[in-house]
Each structure stands twice: as structure tokens, then as C-alpha cells.
Amino acid sequence: MATYAQGIRLALHYAEENLGLTDVFGEDVGPPLGGVFTATQGIKCAWNSPLDERGIIGMAIGIALAGGRPVAEIQFADYIFNTIDMLKLAGNLRWSSYGNYGVPLVIMTPVGAGIHGSIYHSHSFESMATHIPGFKIVAPSNALDAYGLMLSSIVDPDPVMYLKSKALMRVKSEHLIPGEPGDLAELNKRINAPIGDRSKWVPDWPAVEDYRVPIGKASVVREGSDLTVITYSRHVLECARAADQLRGEGISCEVIDLRTLFPVDWPTLRRSVAKTGRVLVVNEDTEVTNYGEHLIRKLTEEFFFDLQVAPRLLAGVNVPGVGISIPLEEASVPQYRDVLDTMRDVATQPGRGTTGEWPLLPETVFGRR
Amino acid sequence: MVDNFGRKSLPWGATGGSQMLDRATKIKIHDLMVKTRCTEETAISMNKQGEGFFWIGGAGEEAFGVSLGLQIRKGQGPAYDYLHLHYRGAPIAMAMGTEPIDQIRQMRATATDRYSGGRQFVEHFAIPEWNIVPVTPTIETQYLMAPGTAHVQRRFGGEGITVVTGGDAGTAEGDFHCCLNWASRPGEELPLLIIVTHNRFGISTPSSQVQASNELNRQAEPFGIRNSIHDGNDVEAIWAALEEAIAYIRKERKPYCLQANVSRIFGHSSATGANRVPEVDCITAFEDKLIKDGIMTRTEVDAVWKKWKEHLKECLAQVRQEPLPDGADIWRHVFAEPATV
């Protein structure tokens, strides 16, 4: 029942008590604010950093090199771009030192649009993040996964980029985090910092338990046979809702929440695409050199002769930013109607099996099919 | 002695240290300086003969580097000193105990390169048992990581410190400013020795063209960080300066910024030819003093050079026999566990 932000907060609490988490830091991460989205309220090892994104990543690397377990926050992914070479170093230190050093750290940052955050509070980052080898990249879509992926990220021996959706921060989970009270009002009272003076406030943590979502494991949130929809983060909710509506129209869509963007859970994707022969990837990053193109390229290489129709990417449009005005944001990143229409279109488009326009070549020519 | 800026005496901050070093230490320093230089010259020769792709290193920084390396508390973990070196750190590492053959292996990029498995340029050390964190080719990023290890040491307690080194040109990056800021947060001051080795050039660009001040340590003053500038070519002076700075950090648990003016005796790197340039040679200067003071004879000095040159020949002959990495090796150490792609 916890919100997405509370799921993160509970995970940080559990990890500092049980998993050796040593530092949670970033701009406004410590008291009194506890993070611009409240995700770090009440965390004992949380502290405020200088307004210095490059320094934040450098500090995280240094802490990890010296045996600490840090979770560093870049307040908005929109401000992470000046840290790219630091992220590349975090990603390559184990490789470049031939295993002499590893840097177990977590970089968490809010991503995506959906809160009318204008040009610099709406950026996506997955296409760039997944272009930095050596990182594992996770992007939870609900509070329970936010909790379980955070715990897995903290104990992981390698750097993890934890992309958290701004638009989901206040969304309540359908599933309880193990140990959390079932009543959200009670949880709010126990772990949300009060308005006003917080200097004497101490959270009353529920006895949450260990729960891990394995890195590299996707989740099938809707099963179906006509179309495979691959998505993550906030668009999981839109795609699942569209799948429910399309089911009423007799269209059966399988919706996969990737949860981890790298390494990709190829076995789950393969099983689904082999079944449906139709692929749609949905995200909100700009469409040119989009992470979804990587998924489509790999799946096309493997399933070229099994695909019924051309794979499709529904993504953000390739303009320099997301405008703050409602019509501008809605025209920039996929909305529910776009998701619904595209899923219906890809699922019902005449396929190879109907028209016979795809050549059927001997298996020996192209190897496996 | 006249330093590279033409100064005969140090402006401030130095504490003459000629009485602090005993005879045996001076002989040891000289031995390590020559050992380092012979290794550098072998690497340069390898590059010129096509046995190594790129040379960059600390030739000319031996007085400073050996003096620092010998004062490091060597070990693993926050109780010991952490080193964030840049790519001229061989004199420091050699004084701590690295062997020439390992540098030659990295120069030749063999599978036996213990620092990077044939992946990095020479002088990119990574030695966890001595807290030498991986040297990175990127300029100045080490100044952003160093506060992290110092932060852990501050929390850990004890006397371990973090040392970060870099050149003068790199201080133009904002990362240097960031390091000073992180190191001096009120109540969170870090046990961090911030060193700038000033050789007056960034590759080919003279610092006088691009930086108004050649006393970069003074950038630390607005942060309340104690700082000083020294002739890094003078063994006794730079030893004493480092000793004073390190003692201050160990005891006070606060940062210190030290500039050492040094030579770049073979230019920037093989990219600029790696040819000898007419700058003060700290080894020659030290040898002149050792002989003048009656600590070593010319014959003894020559014997040190002969010893290390012959050793390097043997190292090179050995390394030539060692294999290069297998191409499939690229998949090792992407992640801690077998890579998933």
C-alpha cells in the first residue's frame, strides 16, 4: 500500500539497518527536507551534499573504493548530464583495473515527464544510461518493485543506476511491502516527516522485511497471445490499462515490465515474442537512438522470420524538450490514447501469416529461426 | 637552486629540511629516483622502437614523487593512506615498492600486466593492497573521487589520509575547485592532501597563456585550507614540506593543498616526442649535492645507474617473452560475476 517514494524510503531504512548501507547523499537529501520527493526522510545515514553533481558521483566512487556502500542521488536526471565521464569511470573501473577494484554504488535519479516539469524536470535518461557499459540499470514501476530493486541494487557488487519515475512517486502500490502496515494513513503517520519543525521528529519505522527483486528479471504484468508490449517505469501502468481495455475488444496483449534495462531479461522477451510474433516497445525517451531501438534490433535479428509485422517503437518525439503547457507535454511523450491506439494497431495489423508476403527460406540459409 | 619559475628562494611555506634526512635515507632516495628514471627511459625507448604504443610518465618528478612515496603509510583499508594518482605517479609508486618489470609489462600491454591486464596506458596503477586506486586517463576526475575515500577515513578515525595528485593544467577544470569545496565543508573537513605538480605546461600550452597565477595552491585560501608552494626538484625541501603537510593532516584531520614545482624532463608524452628537454633535472641536482656533501662518490652514483639499467634490460628481455592478452579476455571483469549481455 506504500507509495513509490515510501517504498524507496523503506528500502533505504532496511538497508542501513541490515545490509551495510553507509551513505545516502545528494542535494537536499538529508534533513530537514529528506529529498525533493521525500524518498530519504528519516534515513539516519542521509546527508546533504554541495550542489555539485560531478562531485556527488566522485564522492560515491571514492566511498565505494574505500569499502563503503553509498546511494547517491542526482536530484533530477535533467542535471546528470555533466557527470557523464564520472559515470563512465564508475562503469569501467573494475574492467580497466582488471578486477583489482570494484565500485559497488547506487546512483538514483528521478526521470521522465508526467508532472509538468517543463524542459529541465522532464528528461529521460535510459538511452544514455544504457550506453555506459559496466552499469546495471533498473527502473521500477511500483512501490514493491522500488523496494525490492533498491535492496538488490545496494547489495550488488557493481554500479547500479536506479531510475525512479517522478510521475509515480505518489502512486500507491497494489501490493504490500513485507512488514508494512496495510493502512496507508497509518504508514504516513509513522514515516512521513511533519510539516514545519522537524528537528525533533523521529520516524516510527515498521518492521519491513528482506525482499529482493533480482536485477535482470522482468515481470509479465499481463499475459496475452496477440502482441508483446515491452515497457518499464510509468508506462507499465498505461500499457497494462490499455491491455485491459483491448481485452474487451477481443485483443490479447502481453505486457512485460522490464524492471531492469541492463542486463536485459532476454529469456522472458524471447518466450513472449516467439508466442505473439508482434512487438511494441513503449517508453518516453526521445525516439532517435532510443533504448527501445536496441531491444527491437536484437529481437529482429533473432526473430526476423517469426515476426508477423514490423516491430514498433512508441516513444517521445525528438524535440529539444518537454514544454510545460499541458498540450505541449501531451504532444511530446506518449499518452494513454497513444499507447492504446498503437497497441491496437500493431496487434491487428495484417501479418505475414495472413498475407504470405514474407519469404519462407530454408532454415540452412539463415541458421536458426 | 633556481626552480622552473626562476625563483632562487621559496616565497613562503617551506621549511628547509636538509637536516631531517639521514645519510641512509638520502642514498635510498637516490636509488629509487634512478630506478624510476631508468624505468621511464626504458618505456620511452620501447615506444620509440614500436614495443609500446604510448608513453606518459613521471620523468622529472622523482624528487617530489619519491619523497612522497616514502612517507605514505602503506596498507589496505581506511586505516592506511589512499592514493589517487595521475599518470605521472611512477616515482610515488616505485618508492612504495612497485617493481620496474610491472611497469614494463603495462608498457608492452601484456597479459601479465597486473594493473590492467593490457588495457591501460603505462603508469595506470591499481594496487588494492596499498590503497592505490585505479589511475584514470581523464584529467582531474581523481580530485572528485579523493574526497570519497577521505570521507570514509574521517568517519573511520585513526591517522590514515588520502593523497590526490594532478598537474597544473588540470586545475583549470572545475573539478579542482569542487575538491577544495568538498574537503572543507564546515564540520566535515577531510584528511586530504591535495597536491598540484606544476610543470608549466598542458601538453604544449604554456600555463602563462592560460592561467593568471602560477601559485595554484592559493586557490585553497578562500576555503580556509592551509597551503604552500615548494621547489619539487629539491629533494630536501620537498621532503620537509610533505612531511609537514602530512603530519598536519594526520593530526588535525583537515585538508592541505601543496604545490610542487617540477620539471617535465621528456616533455608531455610520446605524443610530443618524449625527447629530453633542457629543464632542471632533479636527479642530477641531487647527485651533485650528495657528492658535494660527501654522502656518495661519483663512482657510487654511476654504479647505481649501471645497476638499474642492467636490471631494466633483464626486465625487458623477460617481458618480451610474455604473452599478450587473448581477445576473448575483453569480457572479463565487466561485472563482478560473469557478464550478462
Check CB contact of A65 with chain B, cutoff 8 Å: yes
With CA atoms as reference, the chain B residue closest to A93 would be B134
Q: What is the reported pLDDT for B14? A: 41
Provide the CA A145 distance to its chain's centre, in angstroms.
10
How many structural domains is chain B composed of? 1
CATH 3.40.50.920 boundaries in chain A: 219-351
* CATH code of B224's domain: 3.40.50.970
Query: Could you tell me if residue B133 is inside a domain?
Result: no
- Which chain B residue's Cα is nearest to A47? B188
- The answer to whether residue B6 is domain-embedded is no
| pLDDT tens track for B194-216 | 999 999 999 999 999 999 999 99
Fold of A4-191: Rossmann fold (3.40.50)
Q: For cell 549481455, name the residue.
A: B341
Q: What CA–CA distance (Å, rounded) separates A312 from A294?
A: 12
Residue positions of A annotated with a catalytic role: 121
* Chain A environment of B124 (Cβ under 8 Å): 96
Find how far residue A357's CA is from the centre of its chain.
Answer: 38
Question: What pLDDT score does A366 carry?
Answer: 42
pLDDT at res. B10: 42
Asked if residue B157 is part of any domain, the answer here is no
Reduced 3-state DSSP string for chain B: CCCCCCCCCCCCCCCCCCCCCCHHHHHHHHHHHHHHHHHHHHHHHHHHCCCCCCCECCCCCHHHHHHHHCCCCCCCCCCCCEEECCCCCHHHHHHHCCCHHHHHHHHHCCCCCCCCCCCCCCCCCCEHHHCECCCCCCCCCHHHHHHHHHHHHHHHCCCCCEEEEEECHHHHCHHHHHHHHHHCCCCCCCCEEEEEEECCEECCEEHHHHCCCCCHHHHHHHHCCEEEEEECCCHHHHHHHHHHHHHHHHHHCCCEEEEEECCCCCCCEHHHCCCCCCCCCHHHHHHHHHHHCCCCCHHHHHHHHHHHHHHHHHHHHHHHCCCCCCHHHHHCCCCCCCCCC
- Which of A98, A155, A265, A298 best probes binding to B when mutated, by most B CB atoms within 10 angstroms? A98
Q: What pLDDT shows up at residue A352? A: 83
Would you say how long chain B is, in residues?
A: 341
Q: Which candidate, B137, B317, B83, places its Cα nearest to that of A66?
A: B83
Task: Mark which residues 185-244 of B lie under 8 Å from A by CB.
Answer: 185
Residues A95, B119: C-beta atoms closer than 8 Å: yes
Interface test with B, best of A100, A160, A215 (most B CBs within 10 A): A100
Amino acid identity for residue B322 in this structure: E
Q: Is residue B240 part of a domain?
A: yes
Mark yes or no for CB contact B136/A55 under 8 Å: no
Report pLDDT digits (tens) over A70-121. Answer: 999 999 999 999 999 999 999 999 999 999 999 999 999 999 999 999 999 9
User: Does the structure show a pLDDT above 90 at A244?
Assistant: yes
Nearest to B340 among A52, A85, A263 (CB): A263
Comparing A188 with A359, the larger pLDDT belongs to: A188
In a domain, B96, yes or no: yes
Question: Residue B49 belongs to what domain range?
Answer: 23-69+88-126+190-331
Distance CA B224, CA B187 (A): 13
pLDDT score at B272: 87
CATH architecture of A219-351: 3-Layer(aba) Sandwich (3.40)
Cβ under 8 Å to B: A residues 280-339? none
In terms of CA atoms, which chain B residue is nearest residue A132? B334
SS3 A155: helix
Note whether A85 contacts B116, CB cutoff 8 Å. no
List Cα–Cα distances, A194 to A6, A81, A168, in angstroms: 15, 33, 22
pLDDT of B4 reads: 54
Q: B116 lies in a domain?
A: yes
CB of B336 within 8 Å of a chain A CB? The answer is yes
* A22 Cα to chain B: minimum distance (Å): 9
Low-confidence ranges of chain B (pLDDT < 50): 1-2, 8-18, 339-341
The answer to the question of residue B183 being in a domain is: no
Tell whether A350 lies on the interface with B, counting CB pairs under 8 A. no
> A54: nearest CA in chain B?
B144
CB contact residues (below 8 A), chain B span 137-196, against chain A: 138, 141, 143-153, 174-175, 178-179, 181-182, 185
Residue B179 lies in a domain: no
- Pick from B115, B136, B341: CB nearest A263: B341
Convert the pLDDT of each residue in A335-364 to its tens digit.
999 999 999 999 999 998 755 555 444 444
Nearest to B120 among A22, A50, A96 (CB): A96
The mean predicted confidence, pLDDT, of chain A is 95
